[in-house]
Structure formats: structure tokens, C-alpha cells
Amino acid sequence: MNQISLTKERFDSVLFDLDGVVTKTAEVHATCWKKMFDEFLREHASRNDIPFIPFDIVTDYNRYVDGKLRQEGVSSFLESRGIELPMGGPDALSEQATIWRLGHRKDGLFLAILQEQGVGIFEDGMALLRHVRAAGLKTAVVSSSKNCRAVLQAADIVKYFDVRVDGVTVEQCQLKGKPAPDSYLHAAKLLEVSPARSVVVEDAISGVQAGRRGNFGLVVGVARKGEAEILAQNGADMVVSDLKTLMM
């Protein structure tokens, strides 16, 4: 597909993923996932007298965790290693490892870094966001993170989105997380726009899969680290490395 400008004549809204598209928090998430999983895997290996194989911050993160709800990311990765844990929950904080507890540990690591370092912004993502709003298109942020609101506030970009659908929304509304299209379809519903006249902008495999399954008018994959082919294979209509190309 040739490059397409996002104009009011063709589209009514643009739905942005947050981490890795607008904010530079994807790398922070990946680092926190690795620290948490490596702590668990090292202990698991010692306890079961098996080799310790660390979490791969690129392959494992992209394949099993990126873009997914926290507990689903934990479950997906552990399943890849043949490890079964009970789900657990906030009322079962004990020494026993649970999926919920591992996710809670990762969340604590992320919030600590967020407080210490703040949030970086991708200038091309912000440029596109300002551009489409100036053109009269509605905007939404659609993130699997329960920390989405905190990240938006830390980056001071709340005002750029008409709607926020995040991990908290998914839980409250009992939606399925990415790669299911539910969160994006919910955002379109809140904006009162048709998916067919809406654009999804995503950097995660699960995100472009969600956009494709939701039959959105255009699914844009953001390949900041050369992952263009895999994004195209999983549902992106077009893949860019710089979102400013969509302003031409």
C-alpha cells in the first residue's frame, strides 16, 4: 500500500497505542519485565535443579508480552517455558508465586522508574497526534497498561486524547485484551465513529492483530527497530519507521 495522508475526507479518528508509539515507555516496560522474570526464573531453576535460561528482552518480550494485559503477558511467557502457576490475586499475597504476584512485582518496578525518571516522548508520534487533531480527526489512546493514565499525566499529554481506553477500562468493562479487537472497538464506540473510518497506530504484534481483527480502515505498524516484516505479516496495512511520513 502506498503512503496515505490521514485526512478528514477519508477518516474520522485515529486510535493510538501509547507505549512505543507516543511515549518512550516500551523500553522501560521491557526492562522491568526482564528484571522480574529473571528473578523468578533464577529461583525456579534453582528450586527445580534445571538450567537458568534468562528472559530475552527482545524475542520473548515481543512474542509473548508486548501489548498484552499484564496477567496475560505473564501467562503467555510462562506457558512458552512450560511453567504453570495459579492465577492468585490481590488478596493472596503470600510467598507462593502466582501470575498475579509476578505481574504486581513488574508493575512496582515500572512505577518506581516512572517516578524517578519521568516519561520521554517520541517527537514523530506527538507531531502526528497534533497534526490529526488540527485536521479535525478525533483521537483516542488505547493501551493495555493500567498505568496509562499515570503515563499521560507524567508526559503532560492528557489533553491530546478525546478518549482513553486502558487496562483499567478493559477490566471494568470486561473486554478481551489485545490481540482481540475489543479495546479498539470500544474506543471507536466511545468516539461515536465507525471502525471502517478509523486508523489504528501500533508498534506491537498483538496491537496490529487487534486492528486487523476489528476491520479498521487502516492499521499502521510503527517499526522503530526494524521489525517491519513481522508487523506486516500480522496485520499492518502499512509500516513506517517515522510517523511524520503520514503527514505528507
Q: What is the pLDDT of residues 213-229, one digit of tens each?
A: 999 999 999 998 778 99
Summarised one tens digit per residue, pLDDT across range 101-127 is 999 999 999 999 888 888 999 999 999
Q: How far apart are CA 16 and CA 193, in angstroms?
A: 15
Cα–Cα distance, 181 to 113 (Å, whole number): 30
38 among known catalytic residues: no
C-alpha closest to that of 148 among 171, 169, 126: 169
Please give the Cα distance from 117 to 114 (Å, whole number). 5
Q: Exactly one of 17, 66, 182, 203 is catalytic; which is it?
A: 17
As a whole number, mean pLDDT of residues 220-242 equals 93
- What separation in angstroms does the CA of 245 have from each of 85, 90, 121, 240? 45, 44, 18, 8
Peptide bond into 51 cis (omega under 30): no
Cβ atoms within 10 Å, residue 21:
27
Q: Is 19 a catalytic residue?
A: yes
**Set 19, 66, 203, 237: catalytic member:** 19
pTM: 0.83
